[in-house]
Amino acid sequence: MKFIGSMLSAGAAILVFLAFFATAGTASAKTAPFEPIAVHHLPVPAGYSGESEPDWLPDGKHLVVVAASPDLSAPQLAVTGIDGSRPKCISCGLDTGVVPGAPDGAAFGKPLPFPDGKRIMVRLGLRPGGGGSATQNFTYGVLTCSPSLVNCKTRTLAPIIMPGGGIDQGTQNREGRLSPDGRWFGWTEFTLHGTAMSIGLLKKNGGQYHLENVRILNPYGSLGTDSAAWRAQAPYFELKNFTSDGKSVLYSATYDADNFDTWRVDLRTGKRTRITRGIDWEEDVSTSPDGGS
């Protein structure tokens, strides 16, 4: 695996006072105006108890959701209209046993469509909270529909083989993500040694997907007695998303006061940029399609 990357001085009280207001004024002048947000609540179709974790399909006219129903033993994936109507289950009846480590009757969750409109990356695990999140064995697979997700007549489920194995090998694979071009898979390995944000190239080999050219994105370097290096490398890290252009990865880290803030790492240069610094718990994170927000 390869690694990417690498107080104000006290013065007279009046000067500090003036400097504070000068800085505050400058920051205020550069603050972008708030963007208006409208929230539209979608009704849950009859026969279903909930639809969650939605994402757009590439055609912009349909959603893929995690659907729950009294008639379903575990949450499944459904394709719906943009208003949440006309759900069509695309995962019902699939054998989750083809995915190593997936429990019997595993719940489908966190679907992420590929740009080809035929495939979805999906996480398979227990129901939310089932068994305790610290002990859940999150596994991943690719659901393929033919001829398309919207017109799904035949379906297959192929596992994504994780380099570190699963919970039986002492590794929990958290928060799987897909790059915008559908070529790279990102996730966070959680082990006794800490967390490792990783990305790997998805390659189909027979009935399985393997991850090649895997890179760890954590800050890396010598530590010694350098407190700044320890501060940069010691936090809890969790990969959250690829940026909309696919050139960077967004992640959350407990850099200050054991509180999650958002960072961005450039996948070409390894440059890290801190996005937030506040008391809010910053997760999950993603960028708008135009990359402006």
- Spell out the domain ranges in the chain: 218-293
pLDDT at residue 291, rounded to an integer: 66
pLDDT at residue 9, rounded to an integer: 41
* Tokens linked to 116: 């080809």
Strand 62-68 relative to strand 152-161: parallel, antiparallel, unpaired? unpaired
Give the whole-angstrom CA distance, residue 289 versus residue 293.
Answer: 9
Give the whole-angstrom CA distance, residue 86 versus residue 103.
Answer: 29
Check if the beta carbon of residue 254 is closer than 8 Å to that of residue 238. no
pLDDT at residue 250, rounded to an integer: 92
SS (H, E, C) 250-270: EEEEEEECCEEEEEEEECCCC
Rg of the chain taking only CA atoms, in angstroms: 22
Alpha helix positions (H), 77-211? none
* Tokens linked to 265: 């790492």
pLDDT at residue 265, rounded to an integer: 92
pLDDT at residue 22, rounded to an integer: 44
pLDDT at residue 293, rounded to an integer: 66
Phi and psi torsions of 96, nearest 5°: -75, -10
| pLDDT tens series, the chain, 293 aa | 555 544 334 444 433 333 443 444 444 457 778 888 888 887 888 888 888 888 999 999 999 999 988 888 889 999 999 888 888 999 999 988 889 888 777 889 999 999 999 999 999 976 444 555 556 788 999 999 999 999 999 999 999 999 988 888 888 898 999 999 999 999 999 888 888 999 999 999 999 999 999 999 888 777 777 777 777 766 777 899 999 999 999 988 777 777 778 889 999 999 988 888 877 776 777 767 676 66
- This prediction's pTM: 0.81
